[in-house]
């Protein structure tokens, strides 16, 4: 039996010595049993590629790409201290007050100029990002309701009509409850544009014939 242990020890040492110890340097190429992790068809940064006319493997960003982190626009609390944009805190967070943790005061009013273009931008972004759940008119009857997402509220509820602009903005940035965040998909300007469009939907949902300008009433059956 003693010989058996001695031979076993010898064999173990021999196998380890042949296989090489971890961290040991060698000039020989490694033996790869499954090479597909090492040898991947991929481009490294700044590689060239014959696939594209300009022969660059790095492709420029698609126009309109929303940067995930942009020093001017970033509002994520875990990336930016709450007071990083103190001077335009309302613009980037929708919040006012001193920003002490645990207290959230939302402001009212729009910190950017509302133009016709901005409203069109808001409409477009709303229809891309929000209408699937909140519905194109904001009644909460988007397509996802048919698939069981029944918690989506209507923007025409009194509570949401009375909600401040800053709070709507903040819900867009961070999400709320079962709603996810859209801050990473919309720039600061687009978030305010969507907020303005939500306000327009609310106005439209509670308008009377008198709210329609005289010139446009014709043909509306009013």
**Backbone region of residue 20 per phi and psi (left: phi > 0; alpha: psi in -120 to 50; beta: other values):** left
Sign of the alpha-carbon dihedral angle for 207, 210, 214, 220: positive
Output the smallest distance, CB 18 to ligand HEC, in A. Answer: 59
Which residues between 36 and 75 bind ligand HEC (CB under 6 A)? none
Candidate residues 80, 96, 119, 179; the one interacting with ligand HEC per rule CB under 6 A: 179
Output the smallest distance, CB 117 to ligand HEC, in A. Answer: 19
- Asked if residue 153 binds ligand HEC (CB under 6 A), the reply is yes
- Asked if residue 193 binds ligand HEC (CB under 6 A), the reply is no
- Residue closer to ligand HEC (CB basis): 56 or 161: 161
Candidate residues 73, 182, 183, 201; the one interacting with ligand HEC per rule CB under 6 A: 182
- Asked if residue 196 binds ligand HEC (CB under 6 A), the reply is no
Distances (CA, A) of 84 to 68, 78, 81: 17, 11, 5
Spatial distance between the Cα atoms of 168 and 200, rounded to a whole number of angstroms = 13
Output the smallest distance, CB 218 to ligand HEC, in A. Answer: 33
Residue 141: CA count within 13 A, CB half-sphere: 3
Residue 22: CA count within 13 A, CB half-sphere: 0
- Residue closer to ligand HEC (CB basis): 90 or 170: 170
Count of residues of this chain found to bind ligand HEC when the rule CB under 6 A is applied: 21
Segment near ligand HEC (CB under 6 A); pick from 29-37, 65-73, 98-106, 172-180: 172-180
Q: Tokens for 187?
A: 């720039």
Segment near ligand HEC (CB under 6 A); pick from 14-22, 67-75, 171-179, 206-214: 171-179
Distances (CA, A) of 222 to 71, 147, 174, 211: 51, 37, 42, 11
Output the smallest distance, CB 103 to ligand HEC, in A. Answer: 17
Binding site for ligand HEC (CB under 6 A): 129-130, 132-134, 144, 149, 151-153, 160, 168, 171-172, 176-179, 182, 194, 198
């Amino acid at each position: 039996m003693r010989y058996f242990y001695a031979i076993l020890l010898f064999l173990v040492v021999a196998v380890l010595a042949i296989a090489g110890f971890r961290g040991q340097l060698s000039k020989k190429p490694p033996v790869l049993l499954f090479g597909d992790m090492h040898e991947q068809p991929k481009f490294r940064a700044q590689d060239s590629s014959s696939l594209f006319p300009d022969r660059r493997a790095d492709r420029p960003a698609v126009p309109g790409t929303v940067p995930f982190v942009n020093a001017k626009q970033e509002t994520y609390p875990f990336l930016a201290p709450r007071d990083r944009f103190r001077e335009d805190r309302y613009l980037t967070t929708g919040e006012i007050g001193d920003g002490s943790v645990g207290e959230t005061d939302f402001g009212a009013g729009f910190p950017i100029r509302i133009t016709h273009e901005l409203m069109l931008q808001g409409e477009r972004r709303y229809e891309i990002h929000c209408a699937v759940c909140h519905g194109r008119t904001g009644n909460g009857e988007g397509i996802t309701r048919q698939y069981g997402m029944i918690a989506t509220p209507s923007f025409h509820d009194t509570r949401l009509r009375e909600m401040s602009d800053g709070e709507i903005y903040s819900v867009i940035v961070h999400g709320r409850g079962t709603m996810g965040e859209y801050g990473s998909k919309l720039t600061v300007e687009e978030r305010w544009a969507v907020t303005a469009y939500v306000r327009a939907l609310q106005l439209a949902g509670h308008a009377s014939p008198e709210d329609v300008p005289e010139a446009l009433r014709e043909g509306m059956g009013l």
